[in-house]
Structure 1
Amino acid sequence: MEDDEVASGSIPAPSIPVKWKNKKLARPSSGMAELVQEMQETLPVVGIFHCGFVWLEPSEDEVELLERGAFGKPLPHAEILRRQAYPEEVLRSIERRSFIAQLELEEAFFLAYAVGWLHIKDSQGVRIPATELWRLFQECRPTFLPLYTAYHHFRCSGWVVKNGVQFGADWVLYRGHPGEIHSEYCVIVAAEGLPPRLDTWVDLHSETRLCRQVVKGLIQVNLIQDRGTASADPTEHLASFSIEEIQIKRWQPERHREGPQE
């Protein structure tokens, strides 16, 4: 039986080439710092918080910025949405829009709080301040606080972060645009308030085997609170946590054999 080995610290630089989906479609893309600067130099885009997501009606230029940063996902026209059985209240709120973008709560809060490019309003058209968004998003989804903390950490480190449910993970990490390359890591977040995910050998072996089959690394992120309790202010909350990254690999006997003894 193969065992698993762990190593703590920052995620190491990948030792394998980028796994391009289609090299012919590859294009040079700006880094996150350059993209954030561009966003901050433009007028903020307005989104509506509704039904557990933030909905945007972006202009062509705003669509281009969202696409470059791999934020959200585009949705078809409302008529198509009806055939896909989206909630009626969502359809009413986006009825006359030709292009809709749907943001996860973590993506929306990052663009509103960390970047300052997104202004989020309620269904009455009133802008919601960051501290109120922090509270509303936690009420909407109890796992928001720890998952956003990890999302914020990796986005600020230059990774493109997307939902990892397809691979049984919280997040997956890309070195570039998801339309061009495959993700390199699956991320499991461990924190108070989240159900344990890798606390048994069965869970650990299952996740590492899955990651091996899809050619991805596995990272467990431990959120360690340095002081006090969770704050109602996002800046104080993020400052109160340290983040430990643990890379988990399957141990293979043939790669760890000792050389022949003389």
Structure 2
Amino acid sequence: MGPRWKGKGAEAKALADPMSKIVLKLQSSLIQSDARGILCGSSVLLAAEEEQALLFGRAYFGHPIVNADKDRQWFQLGMEEAFFLCYSLKCLKIAGEDKRPKDDQELWQCMKSKKAGFPVFYKAYSHLRTKNWVVRPGLQYGADFVAYRHHPSLVHSEYAVLVSSEGDAEANGRLKVWSDVHCTLRLCLGVVKTLLVLTISKNGDDDASPSCLANYTVDERTVTRWSPEQSREEDTTDNAESHTTDNAESQATE
């Protein structure tokens, strides 16, 4: 389907300011400030200074929370976003209710306790983020995530992402029957997105620790609706017959 850029010059702006460089700047800023987040329910809260807040906005992690603090901007990060910054980018520390920073193993167990399918969903999220896609929740489109080629202010989301894995109730059972496939494809067509199914294979490894992620593999498949009207060859039989008739009539007249 391809990217749908928002306005003239949007593509040029994205090319001039690649998402990979923006994320690197955010990573560096968080490391320098020894950034710390706080677990709050199923999300992580983080206070950012003005410059850092701008980088969060440009990299499109979390969403800002309205507050009366003029010196700092608070952001709310989803579990996959927070763990990506903490575990994959090594630029964020996350504390629990006891205010003590959790190590990777403790945080992993905490995330799993709040979301049973967290290992599979995180693998899918990190797979796309590592490829410099901007990944956001996709509930409003009937998907697990939506993926943008760059910042949502410059381009519309390109993919509606469904995560699948055998043995995980939260990431299994969809698209098993034709009616599910048909409804999902119709929905994607209506919102102008391509359906991307990420199938996570655990390869026999358990999810006791985040080290299992290295053994997980991701199979990418795009699913589109086939249109026979667009795919068939043009029928030229009538045109050929008409052309022959016209030639014959012309010769008879002469």
TM-score normalised by structure 1 residue count: 0.80
Residues 23, 180 of structure 1: 8 Å contact kept: no
User: 1 CA distance for matches of 2:18 and 2:105?
Assistant: 28
Q: 1:24 to 1:257 in 2, by over 3 A?
A: closer
Q: Where is the helix percentage greater, Structure 1 or Structure 2? A: 2
Gaps of 5+ in 1: 1-13, 79-94
Where does residue 209 of structure 2 map in the other structure? 233
Give me the whole-angstrom Cα distance separating, in 2, the residues matched to 1:77 and 1:159: 29
1:2-21 CA-to-partner distances (Å, cap 9, x unmatched) read xxxxxxxxxxxx6x4x3233
Indicate yes or no: 2:229 matched with 1:254: yes
| 2:40 alignment partner, one of 30, 37, 50 | 50
The unaligned stretches of length 5 or more in structure 2 are 238-254
Find the counterpart in structure 1 of residue 105 from structure 2: 131
- Pick from 25, 42, 50 the counterpart of residue 60 of structure 1: 50
2:42 is the counterpart of 1:33: no
Amino acid paired to 1:37 = L
Specify the alignment match of 2:187 in structure 1: 210
Please say if residues 196 and 222 of structure 2, whose CA atoms lie closer than 8 Å, have aligned partners that are also in contact: yes
Residue from 172, 175, 197 that aligns with 2:149 = 175
Quick one: which amino acid aligns to residue 176 of structure 2? D
1:21 paired residue number: 6
| Higher mean displacement: 146-155 or 189-198 | 189-198
Q: Deviations over 1:80-100 (max 9, x none)?
A: xxxxxxxxxxxxxxx998532
Output the amino acid matched with 1:172.
V
Aligned residues: 229
Distance verdict in 2 for CA 1:97–1:126, change over 3 Å:
farther
Q: Which residue of 2 aligns with 1:154?
A: 128
In the alignment, the residues of structure 1 paired with residue 70 and residue 40 of structure 2 have an alpha-carbon distance, to the nearest angstrom, of 16
Normalised TM-score (structure 2): 0.82
Q: Secondary structure at the match of 1:237?
A: helix
Larger radius of gyration: 2
State the shift of 1:259 in Å.
4.6
The alignment-based identity, stated in percent, is 35
Q: Which amino acid aligns with 1:208?
A: L
Kindly state the Cα deviation for residue 39 of structure 1 after the two structures are TM-superposed: 3.3
Relative CO higher for 1 or 2, CA cutoff 8 Å, sep ≥ 6? 1
The Cα shift of 1:49 comes to 0.6
The 8 Å contact of residues 136 and 147 in structure 2, kept in 1 or not, is answered as yes
AA at the equivalent of 1:125: K
CA distance in 1, matches of 2:103, 2:8: 42
| Equivalent position amino acid for 2:193 in 1 | K
Give me the whole-angstrom Cα distance separating, in 2, the residues matched to 1:45 and 1:19.
35
Shift of 1:165: 0.4
Q: 1: distance between equivalents of 2:5 and 2:70?
A: 37
1:54-81 deviation line (CA, Å, top 9, x unaligned): 0011111211121111000011127xxx
